Structure 1
Amino acid sequence: MGGGEWRAIESLQNAQAKRWLSLTETRGIKKHGAFLLSGRKTVPEALKRHGVRFTAVLAAKAEDAEALPLPAGIARYAVGRALFEMLDTNGTGFPLLAGEVPEMAAADFSKPPKGLELLCALGDPANLGALLRSAAAFGVSRVVLMEGAAHPFHPKALRGGANAQFEMSFLRGGGWSALEGAKGPLVALDGAGADMTAYDWPRDLRLVLGEEGLGVPPALAATRLAIATTGRVESLNATVAASLALQAWYEARGKK
């Protein structure tokens, strides 16, 4: 379809509509290798900085997208109000972008990391998105999704990530046993670990973050670090704890 042409899709039974609707869940994202991005701020910013990543724009009315910096070749769809509201899971009322999920190769733990490589098993997409936002802010460019991790292009993860997903690459890590014999420093956040403030952060390492509440397996051979608190709460949210660790690494890197 040409750059300036708009195609109207009203029926929920339309094949393209069904495909888009499936992208509101992880199963559909994996099946089609595609995602939907929403947000009054994130959509214009994503088009400006990463326009080539998107294949289509979806709007309730064509005029809603007139002010957007749409690439010449992007497909344009004016979708029915009922369909649009089902696709707009975050309720923004703003045009949506459809894009392709990048290939995610298997991580190679036999090679040492370069920079900080974040290994994550967070299963909640909103938490994962928030973590990715912090990771991008502190200079992380590679994220390894361990078994059980949420999909980084789930609508909730995209909302929490605020376009961080487009600043980094993703790898598949498998189960925790894949880390046996991993080369290079391996650091895990653990409430029973050593005080993080005393740790001499190396420039290159793998930072491991387990599932919320479960942490990482006790048998994992890693340097374990804890974040000092007042003790008024049992533990920090995993995303908050990881963000503090990422900031500590970032500040240490600037001093080396």
Structure 2
Amino acid sequence: MQRLTKNQLHDLKSLHQKKGREEQGRYLIEGKKIVEEALDSTFVEMDCVLHTASFDTSIIPDSINSFHVSPAEMRRISTLKSPQEVIAVCRIPAFNSPKGNRILCLDGIQDPGNLGSILRIVDWFGIPEVLLSKGSVDCFNPKTVQASMGSIFRIAIHYTELEVFLKQTNLPIYGAVLEGASIQDLVWPPEGILVIGSESTGISPSVMPLLHNRITIPRFGNAESLNAAIACGILCAKWSGI
């Protein structure tokens, strides 16, 4: 059974921050359920697993390095207030351009919890690819990974220059705005791109002219706006023919 060195412990703790993740090309996932889902995913390359003495290690393949850590070490490595029995360290994949014909584009999403919820939503509705603008939050932020509840491992995620991608695509582009055509009247084909903007400013001015269709969730009350994840859920339901 391997034990961590001080340098390894330091490197793992630095994965709490985006800078550390970018420098090492790795990120953390926490909890048995999420680790099991990562092991089943074709999108995930697992570097190693860290576990306490009470954890059942039978789920860990022999091909993956595992380390026994003390409760004190687990508290240092974990990003959670109540650390769990197991943490896995995974490799950040290379980001490529989307190749499918049904894509959700997120323009400037900043809240990691919102992004995690959005990933769960698109996983639920079977949307296979998510493209994020380069100004969006890091999808491997611990809060995003936890909020996605494993959905992050089943979706192809890309970071790219959104304007460049939208200019090159031949797919119809739909953008969620406050004043557009009601989705109640929309005949929405399964192939296409849906763009959702940031929580505070919406779709970027540089992206707005690239939209083929500006669509709106009709409002019946007095709320000024919807949370990006809630709006995503409503739009994806409509897009899926519900």
TM-score (normalised: structure 2):
0.89
For the pair 1:56 / 2:54, whether they are aligned, the reply is: no
Q: C-alpha displacement at 1:250, in angstroms?
A: 1.3
Alignment coverage as a number of residue pairs = 237
Equivalent in the alignment of 1:3: none
Q: C-alpha displacement at 1:185, in angstroms?
A: 0.6
Percent sequence identity over aligned pairs: 25
- Cα RMSD for the two superposed structures: 2.2
Structure 1 counterpart of 2:209, from 208, 220, 230: 220
For residues 14-52 of structure 1, give each alpha carbon's deviation from its aligned partner in whole angstroms, at most 9, with x where no partner exists. Answer: 221122111112221122111111124322333355697
Q: C-alpha displacement at 1:166, in angstroms?
A: 1.2
Task: Report the Cα distance in structure 2 between the residues aligned to 1:207 and 1:45, rounded to whole angstroms.
Answer: 27
Asked if the contact 1:176–1:220 (Cα under 8 Å) also holds between the matched residues in 2, the reply is no
Task: Report the Cα distance in structure 1 between the residues aligned to 2:165 and 2:42, rounded to whole angstroms.
Answer: 33
TM-score (normalised: structure 1):
0.84
Equivalent in the alignment of 2:14: 22
Which stretches of structure 1, 4 residues or longer, exceed 4 Å deviation after superposition?
48-52
- CA 250–78 in structure 1, closer or farther in 2 if over 3 Å, else same: same
Q: C-alpha displacement at 1:175, in angstroms?
A: 4.9
For the pair 1:97 / 2:88, whether they are aligned, the reply is: yes
- For structure 1, which segment, 166-175 or 139-148, has the greater mean C-alpha deviation from structure 2 after superposition? 166-175
Structure 2 runs not aligned, ≥5 long: none
- CA 51–135 in structure 1, closer or farther in 2 if over 3 Å, else same: closer
Equivalent in the alignment of 1:250: 240
Equivalent in the alignment of 1:137: 124
Task: Report the Cα distance in structure 2 between the residues aligned to 1:64 and 1:56, rounded to whole angstroms.
Answer: 15
Residue identity in the other structure for 1:248: K
In the TM superposition, 1:20-169 aligns within 5 A as 20-48=12-40, 53-61=45-53, 63-66=54-57, 68-90=58-80, 91-105=82-96, 107=97, 114-120=100-106, 121-169=108-156
Asked if the contact 1:184–1:206 (Cα under 8 Å) also holds between the matched residues in 2, the reply is yes
Q: C-alpha displacement at 1:194, in angstroms?
A: 0.9
